[in-house]
Structure 1
Amino acid sequence: MSVSTVGERRIELSSTTGLLALGDVVAITLFVAVGEYTHGYDPLVDVGRVAGTLAPFLLGWVLVAGVSGLYTRSSIRSVRGALGRTFLAWVLAVVIAQALRATNLFHGNAAVTFALVSIGVGGIVLCLWRSVATLLVEQ
């Protein structure tokens, strides 16, 4: 197992953390794709729009999850701990995503209602995934 140090936190490069990262990307993509679909966009046709909506969330998540140690085996030691850390990281990731959406770099804008829905729905999807991952990984 390879370990990279980022500040005081670690990112472990292993098959377990690789699976966590892949699952995180799938969960966030699912959240965005379903959201776009409910707003009348077809994620399979409107790929550019979905990618434009997805990018700020992925950027926010990568920044927060990496720095907060969510890519270590210890981040999924217990379901309760995984849920708390995941949800808090997601809230911070949404704040970053909303800040990015307020710029000219991404479509959309920063909206409190969208941030709250993102925190709630995206947080549920990510926490469900991380709970399953925690239960599946042998301790």
Structure 2
Amino acid sequence: MSTDTRGRSASTVFSRERLGIAAVDIVAVAGLVTYGYLHHSEDPLANPLGALEPITPFLIGWAITALLAGLYARETYADPTRAVRYTALAWIAGANLGLIIRSSPLFEGGGAFPFNLVITGFGLVVLVLWRTAVAVALR
């Protein structure tokens, strides 16, 4: 984790800005996977728990890599260049971690090779655009 959070109070570490960014990150990743779920003729409203199963590995992968990359440190998310670089790196790692978790015995699924490219590519587009917009707005 970034040194940005060391020695600060919980209210500073968990600021509205950071929590808002984390919430939109979660919605972006979950939305991306849900779109794929819908695209494959599944109905998340008919089976909400079934819809959570493909989302969970990618949220876990994103959470781990985003925290390790320091994506919730203000000096990272408020700087467009850093935001793009760190988000791209974190998502590539997070998507791969999600794919590894998804292929474990804990989850049904796995994925054929094209799925790996699709989830990584579309995730890059969605998250990098979102994080770039945040960085530019905070500049």
TM range (shorter): 0.7 to 0.9
Give yes or no for contact 1:28–1:57 (8 Å, CA) kept in 2: yes
Secondary structure at the counterpart of residue 86 of structure 1:
helix
Hey, what does 1:8 align to over in structure 2?
A: none
Give the secondary structure class of the aligned counterpart of 2:41: coil
Whichever residue aligns with residue 103 of structure 2, its letter is A
| More displaced 10-residue stretch of structure 1: 83-92 or 44-53 | 44-53
Query: Match of 1:31?
Result: 32
Q: Which runs of 5+ in 2 are unaligned?
A: none
RMSD of aligned residue pairs (Cα, Å): 2.0
Distance of 1:71 and 1:45 partners within structure 2:
34
- State the TM-score, normalizing by the size of structure 1: 0.86
5 Å-filtered alignment, 1:38-117, equals 38-117=39-118
1 or 2, which has the higher helix percentage?
2
Report the Cα distance in structure 1 between the residues aligned to 2:23 and 2:117, rounded to whole angstroms: 25
Q: Which has the higher strand share?
A: 1
**Structure 1: where are the runs of 5+ without partners?**
6-10
- State the TM-score, normalizing by the size of structure 2: 0.86
Identity %: 31
Does the 8 Å contact 1:12/1:71 carry over to 2? no
> What is the aligned length?
132
